[in-house]
Amino acid sequence: MKLNIALLAGDGIGPEVIDQAVKVCDAVASKFNHDITWKPALTGAAAIDAVGEPYPDETHAICEAADAVLFGAIGHPRFDNDPSAKVRPEQGLLKMRQKLGLFANVRPTFTFPSLIDKSPLKRERIEGTDLVFFRELTSGVYFGERGRKDDGNTAFDTMTYKRFEIQRLAKKGFEAAMTRSKRLCCVDKANVLESSRLWRETVQAMEKDYPEVTVSYEFVDAVAMRLVQWPSDYDVLITENLFGDILTDEASVISGSMGLMPSASLGEKASLFEPIHGSYPQAAGKDIANPLATVLSAAMMFETAFGLHEEAKTIRDAVNKSLAEGVVTEDLADGAKAYKTSEVGDWLAENI
Ligand code: IPM
Ligand code: MN
C-alpha cells in the first residue's frame, strides 16, 4: 500500500520521539511491503521562528493532501509566562484542528501488566482498566466567543455547542462502544450548564439507534473522582472539549507514565495521531524522552487511518516486549539501566 504521511515533529522533545516512530513505521513498511512517503512540515514554535506563524498554509496543504498526519508536540516555555504574546504555538494546534475538521479526539487509557506497580494508584484499583475518551475537539469554550469588556476588567469565554456537533461526536462514541463492552458514559454538567443539557438531550435521543449500548450520564466532577477510584468501571466516555482536556490528563496517570498514552484526532476525511504528552522542554535534545506514546500513536494510525490491523499489532507487540525486557527510558527504568530515546527506537525497529 502507498502511504503518504505528513510529519509534524513540532517543538521540544517532538523531533526526538517522532524520529523513533519513523524508524518503527519504516520497519513495518519493509516487513509488510508498504511504501511510505514522509512529508515533513513546520508547526508550533519552530514554525513561528521560521515563518512567524504556528500553522503555516504550506503545512496545512501538506496535511490536507496526506493520508494521515503524525504529530510530535508543540509548546515552548518562552511563550508561557508572557500573557502579551500575540502568536503562540498552541494557536497552531487549535487552527490545525479546526482547519482539518478534527472533531473527535480519541484518548485511550489502559494498563500494561509489566508496569502496573508504577502507577500512583493501587494495583487492585487499576487492574483491568481499558477505557477510551472521545473528546469533542473543535467547539465548546475553546472556540466560542471570548473577549474583554469593562475597560479590560471583565473577561469572558463562551461555551457554545450545536446539536450536530454533539451528534457527530456521540456517533463515534456509540460506534466504538459497539465494538467494545457496549457501555457508554456521557460526561457533562447538566445540573448547571445549558450546553450540557443539550448534550444530554441529544445523546438520549440517539440511544434508540444503539439498543445494545447501555448509556449512563454522569456529572464531570463525579467522574473526576470515580476515574481514580474505580477506573475499570468505565469503557467509552464522551464529553465536551474542556472537560475532556482535563479528564484525559487525569486518566493518563493511571497507566503509570504520561509517556505511554497515544491519541487520534479524527475528522470526516483527515486524521492525526499524536502522543498525549506535551513538548517537555526540560528534556529537549537530551535523548532521554520516552518515545513509546508516539510509537503507539503510529500503531493507532495503521489501524484507524489505513485499516492495517496486523501492522498495528506488530508495533504493539514490540512495545510490550520492550517493556517486559526493560528496554525503557529513564522515566520507567526504576534504578535499572535507562536506555536513550534513540536506543529504544532502534531496538523496537529491530524487533518488528
Ligand atoms: C491537549 C493540549 C491542548 C489542548 C493545548 C496545548 C492547546 O493540552 O492537546 O490536550 O488544550 O487541547
Ligand atoms: Mn490537554
Nearest CA, atom 8, ligand 1: 245
> Which contiguous run of DSSP H or E holds residue 27?
helix 14-32
User: Do residues 191 and 230 touch, judged by C-beta distance below 8 A?
Assistant: no
250: Cβ below 6 Å to ligand 1? Answer: no
Q: What is the pLDDT of residues 39-59, one digit of tens each?
A: 999 999 999 999 999 999 999
CB 235 near ligand 1, within 6 Å: no
Chain centroid to CA 214: 25
E-strand stretches of 63-115: 68-73, 104-110
Q: What is the dihedral of CA 253, 318, 63, 271, to 10 degrees?
A: -60
What is the rounded CA–CA span in Å between residue 79 and residue 90? 10
Closest residue by Cα to atom 4, ligand 1, is: 245
In 68-207, where does DSSP find H-type helix?
A: 77-80, 89-99, 123-126, 163-179, 194-206
Atom of ligand 1 nearest to the CA of 105: 9
Positions annotated as catalytic residues are 142, 189, 221, 245, 249
Indicate which ligand has the atom closest to the C-alpha of 250: 2
Closest alpha carbon to 265 in 71, 64, 90, 10 = 71
DSSP 282-326: GGTTSS-S--HHHHHHHHHHHHHTT--HHHHHHHHHHHHHHHHTT
Q: Report the separation in Å between the CA atom of 113 and the middle of ligand 1, taken as the mean of its atom positions.
A: 28
The Cα-based distances of 236 to 147, 195, 299 in angstroms read 34, 21, 20
Is the C-beta atom of 240 inside 6 A of ligand 1? no
CA of 249 to the centre of ligand 2 (A): 6
Nearest-atom index, ligand 1, CA of 137:
12
User: Which residue numbers belong to the known binding site for substrate?
Assistant: 97, 107, 135, 221
Strand-pair category, 154-157 with 214-219: unpaired
Mean pLDDT of 301-318: 97
> Distance between alpha carbon 334 and the CA centroid of its chain, in Å?
26
Instruction: Determine whether the shortest distance from the Cβ of 245 to ligand 1 is under 6 A.
Output: yes
- What per-residue confidence (pLDDT) applies to 37? 98
* Domains (range + CATH), the chain: 1-102+267-352 (3.40.718.10), 106-257 (3.40.718.10)
DSSP state letter for 223: H
The grid coordinates of residue 226 equal 470515580
pLDDT average, residue stretch 9-32: 98
Q: What is the pLDDT of residue 288?
A: 97
Q: Is 102 in the pocket of ligand 1 (CB under 6 A)?
A: no
**How far from chain centre, in Å, is Cα 347?**
24
User: At a CB cut-off of 8 Å and minimum separation 6, what does 86 contact?
Assistant: none
What is the tally of helices (H) and strands (E) in the chain? 14, 12
Q: Predicted ipTM?
A: 0.99
Residue 145: band (very low, low, confident or very high) from pLDDT cuts 50, 70, 90: very high
**Residue position matching grid coordinates 476525511:** 269
Model confidence at 334: pLDDT above 90: no
pLDDT, residue 173, reads 98
Supply the residue whose CA is at minimum distance from atom 11 of ligand 1. Answer: 245
How many whole angstroms from 276 Cα to the centroid of ligand 2? 8
User: What percent of the chain is modeled with pLDDT above 90?
Assistant: 91
CA 296/CA 6 separation, integer angstroms: 17
Q: Which residue has the higher pLDDT, 257 or 135?
A: 135
**Rounded average pLDDT over 139-151:** 97
Phi/psi at 85 (5° precision): -55, 130
Average pLDDT over every residue of 171-187: 97
Digit-coded pLDDT (tens) for 187-214: 999 999 999 999 999 999 999 999 999 9
Q: What pTM, to 2 d.p., does this model score? A: 0.94
Ligand 1 mean position to 90 CA, how many Å? Answer: 7
Q: Are 56 and 42 in contact (CB under 8 A)?
A: yes
| Residue range 327-347: mean pLDDT, rounded | 95
Whether residue 90 has its Cβ less than 6 Å from ligand 1: yes
* Binding-site positions: 97, 107, 135, 221, 245, 249
C-alpha grid cell for residue 279? Answer: 513538548
How many angstroms is it from 245 CA to the middle of ligand 2? 5
pLDDT beyond 90 at 126: yes
* Per-residue confidence band for 72, with pLDDT thresholds at 50, 70 and 90: very high
